[in-house]
Structure 1
């Protein structure tokens, strides 16, 4: 098992974990905002135990990577992944992205994946586009994301605690089993990253349009989404993305929240494995 850093062309240090045999098929995990590679612990352990090479990185401005004040936009995020894949010589890889990381997977696979990527998975992912526009009338109003920015700027620590304690894992639902450790771990990961990068990333995950990326992806893609996702509502994400993909498979989960890969890893992991081995 190993971890380390690559230095990108603009001098940003990107932290990554790389476990397993270098000859095994690689699975690359892309985390959501404002988290880190640690958000994939349950998946990394599961797939490592199955003999895969598992890799997860901290996006620039997040986790242990450089707290950048530049390059906090999707084109650069995808370019950073391309540099990592090149450095680690990843081929026949499966790329799995959650939330913002799902957008990163879509952009990376569409632009850089030819010859390197076998399949992709989008979990609770932000594509095609989150914000409401004339061409996306079902999206969330810009005021929602302005509210995120205001809350982050006013008191990032409290805002992150509120998100993790409430909508992210569905802990605000009646009868929900609250997992205190998940809340603390979400908050810990969030506070490791840079406030400026996280602030700018709100625009990235809400306003980036992935429509053309989805259309361009030629490999099989599994779209997994919780039907009670309060952060990325399913009607304007997964249900639209599946119509744009050339080889898409949609799997939805009644009652599952945005952070279902953590709260329901016992279900999500075997479903991921089934898709990867199919």
Structure 2
């Protein structure tokens, strides 16, 4: 398995699939998952001649379980090291949920020199937390309950999330996939407790507003209008307006995990955007 040794000695696991000479598309995963959560999109695009790259964020998946550095600045610094090492250029950057924040902050901090387009899928920007200036956000008590649930029984909490709101399996008439639930649980439990715990603050309290305003490439925003984890009113709708070249596609009835549930539609949207 390929690993990159980072500046602090941590090992970053990554996948580099498909045509080594093909156009590059990178993927950033959500909380508390790993690059495995993107396997349907990666296989689909690699099978069509693209070079697809995804990493396990530090503390997640197969990467080193560092005690500190579980924050957005460190995460995007890791990405820049990876992209430099792999020679990423003229590429498309894709991120889901927390990974959408990673994409946004990377482009805000390092600029768009390596990338020509980006895609945000059910992404957390501009700000998840409810504040005096962000009335559509989620109250801090919700994120406090996440942390408390982890402390009380992380294994059960990481079963409750995919069984319910993450995939929308708690909605009437939903077709529940036991496989999706088990995969989510396995990925989550492979993430270090400290990284998963710290990342709750990172994805909920990081304000990406200025990053969004400074991204000078086309950005496709894909969001389900029944996203129970990152409600579209506080995220996708706002991000599309803040982005200078933002384009929004709403998935009617779509959950937080549209790339895992609406697989064919998301795959085709990514391919169409890449080809445009």
Deviation at 1:11?
A: 1.5
Q: Distance in 2 between matches of 1:82 and 1:153?
A: 33
- Which stretch has the larger CA shift, 28-37 or 132-141? 132-141
Select 2:171's aligned residue among 157, 170, 173.
Answer: 173
2:131 — aligned with what? 133
Distance in 2, matches of 1:110 and 1:186, equals 29
Give the distance between the partners of 2:236 and 2:112, measured in 1 at CA: 23
- The aligned residue for residue 2 of structure 2 is 4
Look up the match of 1:200: 198
Instruction: Look up the SS of the partner of 1:162 in the other structure.
Output: helix
**RMSD over equivalenced CA pairs, Å:** 0.8
Is 2:249 aligned against 1:251? yes
Hey, what does 1:183 align to over in structure 2?
181
2:215 is matched with which residue? 217
TM-score in terms of structure 2 length:
0.99
Identify unmatched segments of 5+ residues in structure 2. none
Please name the residue that 1:79 is paired with.
77
Please tell me whether residue 234 in structure 1 is matched to residue 235 in structure 2.
no
Deviation of 1:176 after TM superposition, in Å, equals 0.4
Alpha-carbon offset, residue 117 of structure 1: 0.5
Give 1:113 deviation, angstroms: 3.8
Residues 134-165 of structure 1: CA deviation (Å, up to 9, x unaligned): 12111101000000000011111100000010
Mapping of residues 115-126 of structure 1, within 5 Å: 115-126=113-124
- Choose from 261, 264, 267 the match for 1:263: 261
* Secondary structure in structure 2 of the residue aligned to 1:188: helix
What's the TM-score, normalizing by structure 1? 0.98
Deviation, 1:12, is 1.4
Once residues 113 and 93 of structure 1 are traced to their aligned partners in structure 2, the CA distance between those partners, rounded to angstroms, is 13
For the pair 1:42 / 2:68, whether they are aligned, the reply is: no
Structure 1 residue 114, shift from structure 2 partner: 2.9
CA distance in 2, matches of 1:263, 1:44: 15
**2-side partners of 1:8 and 1:207: how far apart?**
26
Q: Deviations over 1:31-56 (max 9, x none)?
A: 00000000001001100011000111
1:17 maps onto 2:15 in alignment: yes
Instruction: List 4+ stretches of structure 1 deviating above 6 A.
Output: none
Q: What residue in structure 2 maps to residue 104 of structure 1?
A: 102
**For 2:87 and 2:150, how far apart are their aligned partners in 1?**
37
How far apart, CA to CA, are the structure 1 residues paired with 2:261 and 2:252?
Answer: 14
Partner of 2:31: 33
Output the CA distance in 1 between the equivalents of 2:20 and 2:209. Answer: 34
What is the CA-CA distance between 1:66 and the residue it aligns to? 0.7
Unaligned runs of 5+ in 1: none
Question: Using the alignment, how far apart are the partners of 1:7 and 1:259 within structure 2?
Answer: 31
